[in-house]
Every structure is written in structure tokens, then in C-alpha cells.
Chains A and B, each alone.
Chain A
């Protein structure tokens, strides 16, 4: 199975400052159709996960533009340009390339300093 490794696992950030989360996969996530099926999710305390980004860099509807995704192959990044209080939670990357067997990263807990 594909292993997804996130870093850091804990991310204290000052309000208004940027944040960055790395996600690395044990195998290339480029699918035979040329797409890379790497998603990012946010899980606020007590809530269900919410997809923020799909196919590396596409924001879901309603996701603020301070969130951006980038990367290729096996190396991906989620960036928040200016952290707000509502961004507190756990962020997960997930690969959908080696489908239908999905794999999540361990999660990165973002907190406000």
C-alpha cells in the first residue's frame, strides 16, 4: 500500500502568519490519465472532515483563497497564507491515485500560538 507521510505533525502558528504542511507519498501519485489524485482535508474539532483541495491544487467550492496546494510526483504542500482562528484543526492529505484503496496521512494538528 501507498504510505503517506506528513510533516510536521504539530503546527503552532501565530494568527495572521503563514503555515505550510508537507505530504510525501511512498509511490508516485501520477495516474495513467496524467492526473495526480492528491487531496487535502480539514477536520475542525468535533466535525467531520471537509475536503479543501483536490487533484493537488484545486480548491473546493467555498474554500477561502488563503488555502493553496502544490506539488508533484511524491511531494506535496498545503499552504495557508494567513492563518485565521477558524483554521484550527487537523489537516490530512489523502491519495486517490492508487484507487480504490485510499490512504491518508497521519494528520497535522494546527493550533494558534
Chain B
């Protein structure tokens, strides 16, 4: 059984960066392709990007290009999503999920406020 456990809530000021982690257990990270989805308060789900195993590259939604970086540490089976130049509109719950979206993390609330 795959489990994805994310890091805790964060409060950041506008212009700062945030890095959210997603620890995998039950499988190794190399067996999965991690993706990230966010959900602003009261809003729907928004795909941010993820690893494409066919090309061996990480693909980002155009909206986040240049501001987001998704990385993996296979030695600890942990995936990371870093979002920079934060603004108030980035306040959201950030989820990691497997590529086919059959397993999700519990979500990490990131609040951007001055």
C-alpha cells in the first residue's frame, strides 16, 4: 500500500519561496512518478506538474513555468515541490499524488500573507 506523507503547514510572506515535501512509503519513489496538484480555498483542483516517465523529464503547467521546481531524493524516497515569488493568490493546499492519481498525500496548506 502506497502512503504519501507531506510536510506541515507553512506561512510565507509575498515574494518568498516555499518548499513542500512528500515522503513515500510502501513503494520506492523510482517506482512512482510524482505529480503535484493545488487547491485554493473554496476552489477546484489545479494540476501543477509532474514527472513524465516516458521522456524522463519533469513537466510543468505553463502557468507555473519559471516559478516552480519539482525534485526528488531517491535516497530518502521524498519528492519536493518548491514555489518561488509567492503572492497571495498562491495561498492553497498543495497535494502530491502518484502519476495516475490513485494515491494522494494529505495536503499541505501554504498561506501567503504580509
Contacts and interface: CB of A to CB of B under 8 A. Distances in A.
Interface of A: 1, 39, 41, 43, 48-51, 54, 60, 90, 92, 94, 96, 99-107
Interface in B27-60: 35, 37, 44-47, 50-52, 59
Interface residues on B, range: 20 to 34
Given A48-B106, A48-B107, A49-B95, A101 B47 contact: yes
Contacts, number: 55
A102 B101 contact: yes
Contacts of A99: 52
B45 A48 contact: no
Contacts of B44: 90, 92, 104-107
Contact of A41 (B46, B51, B62, B101): B101
